[in-house]
């Protein structure tokens, strides 16, 4: 299925520490998460092991929310959380 990344999503991605490649990876291979308003949500926890805003984080969790219009996935927004999650 075609993935259309909305410009708003790309702006948020840059601000929050992710990119187009990770957004597509989350949509294609992520696990389902709850979403509101008829949207679909998926997430992946990535190994990060870097500094962000002067603090070290082991992992980052990228969550993508999107809708499906006909046969096209259209992103709504992306969130990125930094911390440590259990494997799985």
* Per-residue pLDDT at 59 exceeds 60: yes
Model confidence at 67, pLDDT cuts 50, 70, 90, reads: very high
Spatial neighbors of 47 by CB under 8 A, at least 6 apart, are 58, 59
pLDDT in tens, 5-26: 999 999 999 999 999 999 999 9
Task: Round the average pLDDT of the chain to a whole number and report it.
Answer: 95
Q: What is this structure's pTM? A: 0.93
Contact 16, 88 (CB under 8 A): no
Outline where the chain has alpha helix (H).
7-16, 20-29
Model confidence at 64, pLDDT cuts 50, 70, 90, reads: very high
**Domain locations in the chain?**
2-83
pLDDT > 70: percent of the chain:
98
């Amino acid at each position: 299925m075609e993935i259309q990344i909305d410009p708003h999503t790309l702006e948020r991605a840059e601000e929050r520490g992710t990119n187009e490649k990770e957004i597509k990876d989350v949509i294609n291979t992520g696990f389902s998460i709850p979403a509101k308003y008829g949207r679909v949500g998926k997430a992946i926890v990535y190994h990060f092991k870097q500094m962000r805003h002067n603090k070290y984080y082991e992992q980052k969790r990228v969550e993508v929310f999107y809708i499906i219009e006909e046969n096209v996935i259209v992103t709504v927004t992306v969130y990125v959380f930094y911390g440590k999650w259990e494997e799985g």
